[in-house]
Amino acid sequence: MDINDFLSPEAVFELREADKGRVLKELAHRAAALLDVDPETMTKAVVKREDLGSTGLGNGIALPHARIAGLAKPFGLFAHLKPAIQFDAIDERPVDLVFLLLLPEQYPEGQLKAMAYVARRLRDPALAGKLRAARGSAALHALLTLA
């Protein structure tokens, strides 16, 4: 699996939002625009999954995800939050690195593989540190897509 298969340069950005709800809504709206999907449908799917339990993995990282009808392949969106926000993470620390992973409805075998791949990448302390220090979308994308 290669992150380049589902993370494009225009899907990586810095984001300033005050709370988790606004972050999820903004991510969903940006993903909807890039995928040409109804933004409200996207928002409902992302929020519905988050309502089942926080996707805050700890160490300032969150991996919200949802299955989206009509999606042909996995799609990712990455945001560096400034400042970090409360996200109900497992370690109760604020989150500043968020990767929204959208998966096709009919992709059961690949869902865990894709999520594990992204989680492993973001949990790498060296990469997380570089992402936090990076400035601008191009620098963030370059760090995320390096092998």
Per residue in 20-55, pLDDT (tens digit) is 999 999 999 999 999 999 999 999 999 999 999 999
- Whole-model pTM: value is 0.94
Say yes or no to pLDDT of 108 above 70: no
Domains of the chain: 3-145 (3.40.930.10)
**80 is a catalytic site residue:** no
From 29, 65, 80, 141, the catalytic residue:
65
Token reading at 56: 């805050």
| Distance of alpha carbon 145 from alpha carbon 147, whole angstroms | 6
